[in-house]
Amino acid sequence: MNKYIGFFRMKIERRARWDKVWLPLDILLRYVEDVYWRIKGFTVIECFGDSHVKVMRRLNWAAREHDLRFRTISVMGATAYGVVNYGSRSGARETYEKRLKNINKNNKALVMLGEIDAGFLIWSLAKKKGLSVEAVLKETVDRYVRFLSYVKNMCNDVYVCSAPLPTVDDGEKDPGYLEVRGSIQVSKKERTDMTLKFNETVQKSCKLLDIIYVDLDDLSIDKTTGLVKRSLINPSGLDHHYEENAFINILQNRMLQMNIIRGRL
């Protein structure tokens, strides 16, 4: 029963991201969750990110019993570069800030951004601005860190999860993908190396900010090919997000290893 309740709750949360008719129901259910989960002894962790972060809520019902309850605030198209900007196309800053200003101080926060930046945007901005890729990478991380500092001021316990590695192969023909990223011709290996460099740089900054960094790179990469593991690639072939069951497995294993989540007796 918990699995079905969790599944439909996840669907409502996702629908409310773009359909404002569903938003009041999502807000009401959030309030009920806060009360119910706290009575049951769970700690709520609010997860901020782009569309990749939506998988976190599945940890509430698809993973083994633990002492956290995950809630996601995902914004399609959100980027580490743009998250400091008000009035951006995605509206990510306004969406995240609204939730952070109303966050229960007992709740934790997790942030996961950067897949779009390392997979496309850094090269696009470098071309547009006439700057080196390295300069734009530095500016992107600096902007991301400014936002993370803001989150740290709003919430006592903050975690940052590494950006997912690219799954789209060279020569991808999916129109939805090409419409957004087709103007930048970089190989999957280049995109992977950029993601690893982005994650490594963010991790160093998190250490200075006293933010716990959840590094999934070593669990995601195939040491032989230097690319993402085939098990994490979505079998649909048209979805660049990680395969959810495989993603949940590495998330849970790493969080248990880091003692972020603890099994309930």
Q: What's the pLDDT band for 1 if we cut at 50, 70, 90?
A: low
Q: In the predicted model, what is the mean pLDDT of residues 232-259?
A: 88
Backbone angles phi, psi at 213, to 5 degrees: -105, 130
Reported as a single tens digit per residue, the pLDDT across 67-76 is 889 999 989 8
pLDDT of residue 254: 94
pLDDT on residue 66: 77
What integer pLDDT is reported at residue 224 of this predicted model?
A: 96
pLDDT at 175: 41
pLDDT of 76 reads: 86
CA distances from 145 to 69, 102, 160, 213, 218 (A): 25, 21, 10, 13, 22
Are 248 and 62 in contact by the 8 Å Cβ rule? The answer is yes
Partners of 48 in the beta sheet? Answer: 73, 111
User: Partners of 68 in the beta sheet?
Assistant: 43
Give the mean pLDDT of the chain: 87
Of 196, 200, 180, residue with least CA distance to 188: 196
DSSP letters for the chain: -HHHHHHHHHHHHHHHTT-TTSHHHHHHHHHHHHHHHHHTT-EEEEEEESGGGGGGGGGGTSSPPBSEEEEEEE-TT--TTTTT-TT-SS-HHHHHHHHHHT--TTSEEEEE--HHIIIIIHHHHHHHHT--HHHHHHHHHHHHHHHHHHHHHH-SSEEEEPPPPP-PPTT---HHHHHHHTT----HHHHHHHHHHHHHHHHHHHHHHT-EEE--HHHHB-TTTSSB-GGGB-TTSS--SBPHHHHHHHHHHHHHHTTSS-B--
Q: Cβ atoms within 10 A of the Cβ of 196, count? A: 18
Q: What is the pLDDT of residue 265?
A: 34
Higher pLDDT, 10 or 147: 147
Condensed to tens digits (0 to 9), the pLDDT of residues 64-118 reads 667 889 999 989 889 999 999 998 888 999 999 998 998 877 889 999 999 999 9
The pLDDT value recorded for residue 27 is 84
Q: 35-72: per-residue pLDDT in tens?
A: 888 888 888 999 999 989 989 988 887 666 678 899 99
Tens of pLDDT, residue by residue over 221-231, are: 999 999 999 99
pLDDT tens readout for residues 196-220: 999 999 999 999 999 999 999 999 9
Q: pLDDT tens-digit profile of 147-177? A: 999 999 998 899 999 999 999 887 665 444 4
**Separation of alpha carbons 121 and 100, rounded Å:** 26
pLDDT of residue 135: 97
Give residue 180's pLDDT band: very low, low, confident or very high (50, 70, 90): low
Q: Please give the pLDDT value at position 154.
A: 92
23-32, 45-54, 139-148: segment of lowest average pLDDT:
23-32
Tell me the CATH architecture of domain 2-257.
3-Layer(aba) Sandwich (3.40)
Q: Note the Cα 172 to chain centre separation in Å.
A: 23
